[in-house]
Structure formats: structure tokens, C-alpha cells
A and B are shown apart, each in its own frame.
Chain A
Amino acid sequence: MAVIKVERKPLSFAERTYLPQIASGLKTTLKRLFAPNVTLEYPEVRPEIPKGYRGVPTLVKDPNGREKCVSCQLCEFVCPPKAIRITPGEVPEGSGREHVEKGPQEFEIDMLRCIYCGLCQEVCPEEAIFLQNQFSMTGYTREEMVNNKAKLYEIGGTLPDKHFKWDKKKAAEEHGNAH
């Protein structure tokens, strides 16, 4: 490798007095003084969340407001810190879809264990669990930090998809070739 010799010039008189350098430094800081602030005033102003951000895991509903999770327990199985606990159950009677799939009776994610890895989202065959934008989660007790099913749906909301799985299943059943 070639060695490049950089010539060190002796400091000029003006440089040795420091004063022009200090003056130029003062100019820079004065410019910064009048420049707009770069700080985000956090609780009032929220940062813009980039696409694909892995926030708090949530359960989502399909466009018709129906529960997507079928309690297959794949996420519970894959979860590295074992944060997810699912109690499988039946879809309640009279909802018009109890014949097709099951649903979770209870779905708990312990946020004190969750490591936000996103494996649950990746493994979910029903696209029912998503790591969304919520990045800050606090509580005073351990119980508060466990998100139950109601809470998960509340923060998850509805995520539009184009599958309309339940509609298709219903139609298929009516045509007599379910499963």
C-alpha cells in the first residue's frame, strides 16, 4: 500500500492566535441558534413510524370485523421467549361461522416476555397477528403488562386484506365442496 505523506504546514500567525478560528466557530453556533430545532417534543409530537416497524404484537380482524385467529397455536409454539399463551375454544354459536373454524377462547401475550422478534407474525397462516406501530408500553403491575384477547383486538383493530377467507369458505360450503 502506497504511503501518502501529508505535509504538515506550520500554523499561520492568525491561526496561532486562535481568534479567527473562534470567530468562525461563533458564526457556526450562531447559525445553529436560529436554525429550527431538531428535537421531537415527544409526548405531544410522535415520531413517524417507518413501514414494517415491529411494535407491540396485536390481533387483527378481517374487513368484515370477524376474528381471524383460528387458535392453531403456531405462534405459541414458535414464540422464542414463550410469551404467548392461547386457550383454544369454539367460535361462539350464532356468529354464522362456527361451522368453519375454531377461535381462541383466550389469547394472552405477556409483554414482559415478548422480545418483539415478529416470529408470530411470520408464522401465522391466517395473517391474524401483526406487530404494529405501538412502541411504548407501560404498566404498574405484572398483570397490567399481559395483553389479553380483548386488549389485543382493541389495539389491533381491523387490517384490511383481500382474502375474504370467511366469505370464500361460506360460498364453498354452500356449493357443497367445503374442505
Chain B
Amino acid sequence: MIEFWNNLHPLVQGVVKGLAVIAVIFPLAGACSLAERKVSAWIQGRPGPNRARIWGLGYIPIIGPILQRLGVWHLLADGLKFLFKEDPVPGHVNKFYFFLAPAIALIPALTTVVVVPFGAWLDGETVQPLMLANVDVGLLAVFAVSSLGVYSLILAGWASNSKYPFLGGVRASAQLISYELAMTVSVLPVFLWINAPGMSGSLSLARVVEFQSQPGFWGGAWFVFTMPVCAIIFLIALFAETNRQPFDMPESEADLVGGFHTEYGAFKWSIFFVAEYSHMIIGSGVFALLFLGGWNPLPWVTLADLANLIGIAGNPLLVGIVSIAIFLGKIVALLFFFMWVRWTVPRFRYDQVMTLGWQKLLPLAIANLFVYLVAIALLQPKL
């Protein structure tokens, strides 16, 4: 089996791995839409979607009703509805870009996963990350590619040839630029800290997790404890970058009808939806890797410790599965946090978003960077 896998052409291997990861992200993004509906319902004291039932599966005792109560079949119903309902294209749109926009939304959202490690396995003593490409540009690639997603919003807004989508697109681009800076500056201390002078530098996210799994009090501490301000700025910027409430300016339905996707319907609209959730999933993953110790189960307890504790250290497959489960657990918890915030905090006004981005977060991020610059210079062992 493993022999057969290793004998495959690297290109085939890459395609298979990529498809495997997409096969997880895509349904997860779809499931997020259901989770969103359920969480909003529970917070608002409603039972939420719980009516759809599949003939046959729905009548299995105990499991059937439970799945129905959880609204699992609504996921299927929604997906099928988006696939089969009429897909109207308004007469006044620029057809080529109108069709291109959803595709452009999805591609960067799913591409970023390439450099995001999602698990690890033990090769003897060393921890090998599970990822599609362990490249040194790591986080830079995530930032660069995920920012491309905003082109789809601009394109959708422009191609719709109508005022509200256009405003949504303009807002999306302005918001992305405003928060991209704060976001990037906020993670600089992390990489300053893990890249000691004289070493070969790396922006790899796997390296960040490796750094959070060192022995000792300071080595095992997650960066959320040692760099809380960075974590908060990054999280706020992440909310803004993924266009989540309270920053969902591009589609703020109170003032822009539906924002950039006003003119979209059916499957194209659902692609925007999936792309937004994919961004959220990848963003949550990056946050978990940077500040929450990646696949380490608890602060000061590394994956290797856990593997030794439950006696699966010799089995790379099991360790890999456990690590992926831990990492996915963290992502799901963060996704819940995204939804929780959405149904708690009202939307900001547009000028408040801009003020917060430029006048609060950016100076704070820069000041934070300077504080950590000095601290790291003093703390890090001299060469």
C-alpha cells in the first residue's frame, strides 16, 4: 500500500492529497452554514431547522429522530436546492465577470490550505507535520493567496452593474486593505521570536507549532499566553478579513440589500457562501496554529507527550489521526466562536470600521511590535 503510494508520480500524489483536503474543507464549509443556523437559533431561543427528513434513513429508531432534530438533512436539502433551482442571470450584468467571480472566490479560499499544516506524526523522536507543502514562505503565502479572495467580491460587485453590489465590492476592498496591515504586523512578533538571529529563517506555520511544543514552562506555553495582544489583534483582523459580523460591511443587508451578492442566486450564490466559510476555516486554522499550539492537545502537553501517554507513539497513522482530530477540534471551537460573536455583536457602522482599523488597531499593532522587538532583543540568547 505504502509502496504503491510512494511509486506514484509526485503530480498524481499531489492531486490526490489536494482532492482529499478539499473533500474535507468543502463539506465542512457546507456544514458551517447549518451550524450557523443552529447556533443562531439556540442563541435566540428557537429550536432551529429540524423538519427535513430522508425517507428510510429518517425512520431508523433513535438515530433518525436525533439527526432530524439536529437538522442534518437540511444540509442536504439546502445543497440540492442550490443545485437545482433556477439560476437567473440578470440582463444588466457583465456576464463573463459575473460568472467568473464565484470561481475566483472559491479558488483562493481552497488554495491557502496547501501551506497550512493540519496534523503531525511522530517519526521516531521528531514530529513531522502533515501538510501539502511545507514551504518556508508559509504564512506569507496564506496572507497573499487569501487576500486574492477579495478580487471576487470586487468583481462580483462591479460585474453586477448595480449600485448596492458595487458599494459592497468597494467596501470589501477598503476593509481588506485596512485590516491586512494590522493583521500582518500583529503576527510579526511571533516570527521574530521563533527565528533566532543567525538561524535559517522560516515563516512556516509548522515551525510555529514546533516552537510551541518545546519542553519547559516558556517552551510549552502557547503564544496566546505570551503574546495576548498579538492574538487579539489577529483575531479582530481575522473577523474583518473574513467579512464576519461585526465587520460584514460588504454584504451588510441593512443598508446594502445583500451587498456584493445582491444579484446572485442559486448555485453561484452558494459558492460565495462556501468560499466565505472556507476562509473562516482556514483563518481559524491559522489562528490555532499561531496562537493555540496547533495540534498540541493542551498547553504544556505536546502531541508527543500525549502519544507516549496513551501508547500510540509507535503507530504513525494513529498519531496522525489523533493530531488531525485535535486540530479540527480547535478549528470547530473557533468556528463556534465566530458564530457566537456574530449573534452577539451588532454590525459596526462603516466609518467605525475604518476608524477601528486605521486609528486603533494599526497603531496598537505597531506599538505591540516595538514592545516585543525590545523584549525579544533582551530575552533571546546572544550569539
On A, residues with C-beta under 8 Å from B are 19, 22, 25-26, 28-30, 32-33, 35-39, 41
Contact = CB atoms under 8 A, between A and B. Distances in A.
Contact of B340 (A26, A36, A38, A41): A26
Contacts of B45: 32, 35-39
Contact of B43 (A19, A29, A38): A29
16 contacts: A22-B345, A25-B344, A25-B345, A26-B340, A26-B344, A29-B43, A30-B340, A32-B43, A33-B39, A33-B340, A36-B45, A37-B42, A37-B45, A37-B46, A39-B47, A41-B47
Nearest to A22: B345
Contacts of A22: 341, 344-345
A32 B344 CA distance: 11
B232 interface: yes
Q: 7 tightest A-B contacts by CB?
A: A38-B45, A29-B344, A25-B344, A39-B46, A29-B43, A33-B42, A37-B47
B232 A19 contact: yes
Contacts of A19: 232
A19 B360 CA distance: 13
A25 B346 CA distance: 10
B232 A29 contact: no
Given A33-B42, A39-B45, 13 more contacts: A22-B345, A25-B344, A26-B340, A29-B43, A29-B340, A29-B344, A32-B45, A33-B43, A35-B45, A36-B45, A37-B45, A37-B47, A38-B46
B47 A28 contact: no
Contacts of B43: 29, 32-33
Contacts of A32: 42-45
A23 to B, nearest CB: 10
Interface string B324-353: 000000000000000011011100000000
A122 to B, nearest CB: 39
A19 B44 CA distance: 22
A138 B75 CA distance: 31
Contacts of B232: 19
A71 B232 CA distance: 78
Interface in B296-349: 340-341, 343-345
Contacts of A39: 45-47
A149 to B, nearest CB: 38
Contacts of A25: 344-345
Nearest to A39: B46
Interface in B41-95: 42-47
Contacts of B343: 29
Nearest to A24: B344
Contacts of B42: 32-33, 37
B238 to A, nearest CB: 15
Contacts of B46: 37-39
A167 to B, nearest CB: 52
In this complex, the member of B45, B46, B340, B344 whose beta carbon has the largest number of chain A beta carbons within 10 angstroms is: B344
B155 to A, nearest CB: 33
Contacts of A37: 42, 45-47
A37 B50 CA distance: 13
Contacts of B344: 22, 25-26, 28-29
Contacts of A36: 45
Interface string B25-51: 000000000000001001111110000
Contacts of A30: 340
A13 to B, nearest CB: 12
Contact of B341 (A26, A28, A35, A38): A26
Interface in B199-245: 232
A140 to B, nearest CB: 23
A33 B48 CA distance: 12
Contacts of B341: 22, 26
A123 to B, nearest CB: 43
B269 to A, nearest CB: 27
Contacts of A33: 39, 42-43, 340
